[in-house]
Structure 1
Amino acid sequence: MISVFGSANMDLVAYVSEAPKRGETVTGHRFRTIPGGKGANQAIAAARAGAEVAFLGAVGDDGFGAELRATLSEAGVDVRGLRQVPGPSGIAHIVVDDAGGNSIIVVPGANGTVTGPSGDDLAVIARSEALLLQLELPMAAVVAAAEAGRVAGVPVILTPAPAQPLPDELLDAVTLIVPNEHEAAAITGATAPAAALDALLERVEEAVITLGSEGALYGSRSGERLRVPAVEVKAVDTTAAGDTFVGALAVARAERLPVADALRFASAAAALSVQREGASTSMPTRWEIEDSLP
């Protein structure tokens, strides 16, 4: 089982030819509300990739909260650890341009009320084969969950997004960190991915830097280095590519696939996701991923 301690947001997605600049108003050609949030996205990605998944987090008592819960459940995710709190659910305002690029504003809502894992959450984490974390919950809550995973001997996989300073107590508990190239640069101060990878490995056991169309770069403290090319596709919407990659990678690692095979599996899943619109709506099934592998 894979546990995900993280955020659930309703994505409010506007599609435009070109994203507006500061002070500019543009006309969009479509709008959608799509269940998302980095935590929920990773949970759904892992479930569709073939894992048993438990989600731990919070939603509000509004209509968005009910829809987020239903979406996770319909994807096969165990939502008994998804608590309801008074007030609004988290939302993300997303602008997607015709080139598939995006910009995102997150308003935490119920996610901001999570102070750490409950007693029941701790029991779920302890039974897991991997714990997935992101940074859309308060940092103290993320640190507490990571430490719970470390104490239980559970591999902890961190997506350090949104990028921000990472406390030592968090990184001390992380097994694998998976930033994109911009997050890696922000964390380490190194703009070259290879240098950023080396800097990350001074603080964690393993790291994967995702490089978009350039693939992914992996390293471990044992000295192993791998670069896996991306699958060449035409991107429609890159919103959930990173979360799809991480969810699929966690599944492959839980199944003890060799590192290179796990990275190819995750890359194939991400390539399928960017060819579809939305976050949770874009994530491929296990059959689709396996069918797309060479």
Structure 2
Amino acid sequence: MTGIVVLGSTNMDLVAYVAHAPKRGETVTGREFRTIPGGKGANQAVAAARAGGDVAMIGAVGSDDFGAALRQTLVASGVDVDLLRTSEGPSGTAHIVVDDEGGNAIVVIPGANGTLTALAPGDEALIATADALLLQLELPLTAVLEGAETARRHGVRTVLTPAPAQPLPPELLAATDLLVPNEHEAATLTGVADPHTAAEALLRQVPEVVITLGSAGCLHAGRHSPPLIVPAPEVTALDTTAAGDTFVGALAVALGEGKPVEQALTWASAAAALCVQRAGASTSMPYRSEIDEAS
């Protein structure tokens, strides 16, 4: 078992499935609507737990029905929610349009996530016991930075998913061990479209980078290792909503178990490939036995 703490968001995903996403001013008729527990933090927690990790979640849900459902989803996946706080008011929501090619467009409304501006009593002690702390950017940056610096003080590996993409304070990058952007986020952070060149630029700020490339796989780069491309399994994507979070959750488990980098990336890529063949976020994430069989 791997000790993973996730400091991140919980959102209820409100998902509309359409032939093509509407353009500005356009109305389209969808074929289905689903309400699915999500949020980048909760997604990574569920993905890691299903992949075999020992996972705890630090975050906030609202006092509404969505909050109760989000908490229950984490519990059902085996995630420790003792430090998942409840904030008076609405939970976070993500309004998602998924088209027939499996692409998506997302509007996130933070809700309770916006109240988590700093660590609470007990959070540091939990982080200190972990092998890895997973971070994303759907919480206020003050909390993300405090979490990263807390992990650094205690020698805990920090894994940052820089999404939604935004400029990052140097002190956050200085406290990051592994940065996992997709190719668009890497371009936003560096101003460079080519993933190899972007990785070189990011290595001046963090010691290790994995850039996810969708159906093309992923690129690993480290300050002391040559660049490595790991191809993705060839599959037909139904819904890519939680692919990146599934990849990160599975990767954290694999690295925590001591798998070599290439093997860990291959295993995480298999998890993401299984995810995109299913609809939804947390509902699409595979279990360890499925990942082992696919990889």
TM-score higher than 0.5: yes
- Give the match's secondary structure for 2:241: coil
> 2:84 maps to what in 1?
82
Unaligned 5+ residue runs, structure 2? Answer: none
Given the alignment of the two structures, is residue 25 of structure 1 paired with residue 47 of structure 2, yes or no? Answer: no
Q: Which one-letter code corresponds to 2:227 in the other structure?
A: R
Supply the distance in 2 between the matched residues of 1:220 and 1:87 (Cα, whole angstroms): 43
Number of aligned residues: 293
Q: Which one-letter code corresponds to 2:258 in the other structure?
A: R
> Pick from 49, 52, 55: which aligns with 1:50?
52
Given the alignment of the two structures, is residue 246 of structure 1 paired with residue 244 of structure 2, yes or no? Answer: no
> Pick from 42, 65, 68: which aligns with 1:66?
68
Supply the distance in 2 between the matched residues of 1:43 and 1:146 (Cα, whole angstroms): 17
> 1:277 maps to what in 2?
279
Offset of residue 283 of structure 1: 0.3
Offset of residue 9 of structure 1: 0.1
> 1:108 maps to what in 2?
110
Offset of residue 223 of structure 1: 3.1
> 1:188 maps to what in 2?
190
Supply the distance in 1 between the matched residues of 2:125 and 2:281 (Cα, whole angstroms): 29
- Give the match's secondary structure for 1:10: strand
Equivalent residues in 2 for 1:192-231, closer than 5 Å: 192-231=194-233
Q: Which runs of 4+ in 1 moved over 2 A?
A: none
RMSD: 0.5
Identity %: 66
> Pick from 111, 120, 123: which aligns with 2:122?
120
Structure 2-normalised TM-score? 0.99
Supply the distance in 1 between the matched residues of 2:108 and 2:177 (Cα, whole angstroms): 27
Unaligned 5+ residue runs, structure 1? Answer: none
Deviations 1:96-124 (A, max 9, x none): 00110000000000000001222311111
> Pick from 174, 177, 194: which aligns with 1:175?
177
Structure 1-normalised TM-score? 0.99
Offset of residue 207 of structure 1: 0.2
Supply the distance in 1 between the matched residues of 2:281 and 2:111 (Cα, whole angstroms): 19
